[in-house]
């Protein structure tokens, strides 16, 4: 359905896409992952000609997009794009946001467009909000409207550019659920995302972008569990873990806890696991004596569904689990109760505490 050959895109001297080639078949769901700034958005924007490629070719359903004489608006209508920011028309109701395109651009009758619009709002769970205005609904609801609005144009391919990045963590799953549903219905989709659990479960293939290329591609299992190339491996490792350094006793506990919580949510860990992590973080910090250099880490292994919380700290050797002050006994008991394993060791002059828990 989409055939990309040797696609390149330069912005002045900046070479963003060097040589991208890809084939995407009908009904496939492709997740595009990679560090920021590697051209993921640019790739999507080239696919629907929001950017003009510098070189290479793109064919959609056999129609060469970049050839002279191709009727671009018509081919572009085959594609819908959902952005990070929802870009709804603020002065139109939810339903009007869905009908304006079909009426103005496709010459549909108003009644037909409304009927179709309502059906789509049902599909994304927002029929109730048809007559609300965008500023009366939540971010997650806005993004679902944006998806329905795309669908109203009856595209054959949907492109998503980080559809959940601008959302509060609590609203991510409702949007992902809608995208899942479209996948089940056989929609062809290309999704740039940082939601790795989601990418793993929804995609037929994953493209890892780096160095202006599709640096590595494969099934989710190949990319997430057995990446072949060094940069892919480093990236996968990095997104699985989180590190936070504390260098003074006046650190912001709430910010640290929030960051730990966000990491858990990104990996779609159950609420109670997230709550445990936040709780354990506080207790582990309570037990510390030296705050000149503490490195908290969290890593999640999809393989055995375990979560590891590490706390490395400088200072005199001190095993917080055995040598805690009396008033801290309760913190120790809490930690041991919530974790399936705990271990202390001295490593290169740092106290290393490792706590392991079941994540799912």
Site residues, ligand ADP (CB under 6 A): 11, 14, 16, 36-42
Query: Do residues 299 and 308 touch, judged by C-beta distance below 8 A?
Result: yes
> Based on the number of CB atoms within 10 Å of its own CB, is 319 exposed (0-12), middle (13-18) or buried (19 or more)?
middle
Taking CB within 5 to 8 Å according to partner kind, which of ligand ADP, Mg ion, none is near residue 281? none
Structure letter (DSSP) for residue 53 = -
14 vs 316, which CB is nearer to ligand ADP?
Answer: 14
Binding string, residues 6-45; x marks residues near Mg ion by CB under 5 A: -----------------------------------x----
Q: Which residue has the tokens 């974790």?
A: 339
Provide φ and ψ at 78, rounded to 5°.
Answer: -70, -15
Q: What tokens were used for 354?
A: 């490792």
Looking at the Cβ atoms of 41 and 313, the one nearer to Mg ion is 41
Q: Select 181 or 194, whichever has its Cβ closest to ligand ADP.
A: 194
- Which residue lies nearer to Mg ion by CB, 209 or 357? 209
Give min distance, CB of 47 to ligand ADP, in A. 12
Nearer to ligand ADP, 85 or 292 (CB): 85
Is 93 a binding residue for Mg ion by CB under 5 A? The answer is: no
Sheet holding 306-313, edge to edge: 241-246, 294-301, 306-313, 350-358, 341-347
Size of the site for Mg ion (CB under 5 A): 1
Min dist CB 59 to ligand ADP, Å, is 22
Cα(217)–Cα(193) distance, integer angstroms: 15
CB of 1 to ligand ADP, least distance (A): 22
Number of H helices, E strands in the chain: 12, 15
Residue 355 is inside which H or E element, if any?
strand 350-358
> Which CB atom, from 38 or from 203, has the smaller least distance to ligand ADP?
38
Cβ atoms 88, 134 nearer than 8 A: yes
| Interaction partner, residue 42 (Mg ion, ligand ADP, none; CB < 5-8 Å by kind) | ligand ADP
What's the min distance (Å) between Cβ of 36 and Mg ion?
A: 6
Interacting residues toward Mg ion by CB under 5 A: 41
């Amino acid at each position: 359905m989409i055939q990309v050959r040797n696609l390149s895109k330069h912005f002045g001297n900046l070479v963003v896409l060097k040589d991208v080639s890809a084939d995407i078949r009908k009904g496939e769901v492709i997740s595009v992952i990679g560090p920021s700034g590697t051209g993921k958005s640019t790739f999507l924007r080239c696919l629907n000609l929001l950017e003009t490629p510098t070189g290479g070719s793109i064919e959609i359903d056999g129609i060469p997009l970049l050839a002279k004489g191709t009727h671009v608006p018509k081919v572009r209508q085959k594609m819908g794009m959902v952005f990070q920011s929802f870009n709804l028309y603020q002065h139109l109701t939810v339903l009007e946001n869905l009908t304006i395109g079909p009426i103005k651009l496709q010459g549909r009758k108003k009644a037909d467009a409304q009927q179709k619009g309502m059906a789509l709002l049902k599909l994304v769970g927002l029929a109730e909000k048809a007559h609300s205005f965008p500023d009366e609904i939540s971010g997650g609801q806005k993004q679902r409207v944006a998806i329905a609005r795309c669908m109203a144009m009856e595209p054959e391919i949907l492109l998503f550019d980080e559809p959940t990045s601008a959302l509060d963590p609590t609203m991510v799953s409702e949007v992902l659920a809608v995208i899942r549903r479209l996948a089940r219905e056989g929609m062809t989709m290309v999704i740039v995302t940082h939601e790795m659990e989601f990418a793993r479960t929804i995609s037929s293939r994953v493209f890892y972008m780096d160095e202006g290329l599709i640096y590595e591609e494969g099934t989710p299992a190949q990319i997430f569990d057995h990446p072949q190339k060094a940069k892919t491996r480093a990236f996968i490792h990095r997104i699985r873990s989180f590190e936070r350094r504390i260098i003074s006793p006046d650190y912001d506990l709430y910010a640290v806890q929030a960051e730990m919580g966000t990491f858990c949510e990104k990996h779609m860990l159950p609420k109670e696991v997230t709550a445990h992590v936040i709780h354990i973080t506080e207790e582990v910090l309570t037990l510390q004596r030296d705050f000149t250099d503490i490195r908290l880490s969290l890593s999640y292994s999809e393989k055995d569904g375990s979560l590891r919380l590490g706390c490395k700290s400088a200072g005199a050797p001190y095993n917080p689990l055995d040598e805690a002050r009396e008033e801290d006994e309760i913190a120790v008991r809490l930690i041991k109760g919530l974790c399936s394993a705990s271990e202390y060791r001295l490593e290169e002059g740092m106290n290393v505490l490792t706590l392991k828990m079941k994540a799912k």
